[in-house]
Structure 1
Amino acid sequence: MICTSCGPLTPTRRRSPPAPGGRPPPGSARPRAGPGRSSGRPTDTALVHAEAVYGRALRAAAEYAVAHDAAELMGAEVVSTRHRVRALRRHWIPRLREALDRAELALEQAEHEDGVRRRWAARTSER
């Protein structure tokens, strides 16, 4: 059987369902602990190598999962930031510019009126 998520070159094994009563299916060669056998780490070279490869693959998968989640979070932040920038460009900045223009116009008007009053006051005090 070929694994669809890993690619076409990664064969996978199907596990047979457990036999009734919780016993392993007949013909399964699973070593059991007993006299002269260790129940800890495997002693066969191929099993030791497979265990090491499995450990590296597991660590690589965990690192990939962390990196993938971080990339998804960053992508979500980028989208959120784009929305905020769009709102600033379309709504807030034009409104603030209009308010600034109104404030500058009012200031110019006040300065002009103040100048007119000063000139008028200067003319009336000279007379």
Structure 2
Amino acid sequence: MADWAKVTVEWTTSMGVRHPSHVSWTPAKRSPAEPTPRNTALAHAEASYREAARAAAEFAVASTAVRMIAAEAHGTRQRARALRRHWIPRLTQELAAMELSLEQSEHEDSIRRRWATGARVRRLR
């Protein structure tokens, strides 16, 4: 029986996305018991099929990597859009309300301090 072709896919991480990066290819080997092709056309076809299988493995790795990174980029664009349209305006409004509340509280505290010092000055006279 012949040894099957072996494909090993190596993975890497780019832009925070784990994806296939490289393919190692070992072509199938004919066992000594198998007959050789009867004519040159079959020998050329065998070589062409080997090359096509190698190219298919490389294409699968490249296209999968592109799809995975494109999907992550799409998701990132959606999250950024949600931040720009919803979260940032809402948080900006809440920040303005908190700053106004803090300013009002500081103003009230300063008035209380003035009243307290005014009452103390009156008591001392």
AA in 1 matched with 2:53: L
Larger Rg: 1
Using the alignment, how far apart are the partners of 2:102 and 2:37 within structure 1?
86
Distance 1:80 1:94 in 2: 21
- Counterpart for residue 61 of structure 1: 56
Q: What is the Cα deviation at residue 42 of structure 1? A: 3.6
Deviations 1:7-52 (A, max 9, x none): xxxxxxxxxxxxxxxxxxxxxxxxxxxxxxx524447666445433
Q: How many Å apart are 1:63 and its aligned residue?
A: 1.2
**Aligned residue number for residue 23 of structure 2:** none
Task: Indicate the residue corresponding to 1:116 in structure 2.
Answer: 111
Larger RCO (alpha carbons 8 Å, 6+ apart)? 2
Deviation at 1:73, TM superposition (A): 2.0
1:63-78 pair list within 5 angstroms: 63-78=58-73
Q: Give me the whole-angstrom Cα distance separating, in 2, the residues matched to 1:101 and 1:89.
A: 17
Out of 110, 120, 125, the position equivalent to 1:125 is 120
Structure 1 unaligned spans of 5+: 1-37
Aligned amino acid, residue 69 of structure 1? T
What count of residue pairs does the alignment treat as equivalent?
90
Which stretches of structure 1, 4 residues or more, deviate above 2 A after TM superposition? 38-54
More strand by share: 2
Say if 1:105 and 1:41 are closer, same or farther in 2 by CA, change over 3 A: farther
Superposition TM-score, scaled by structure 2 size: 0.61
Deviates more, 1:53-62 or 1:40-49: 40-49
RMSD (Å) for aligned C-alpha atoms: 2.0
TM-score, normalised by the number of residues in structure 1: 0.61
Give the CA deviation at 1:110: 0.7
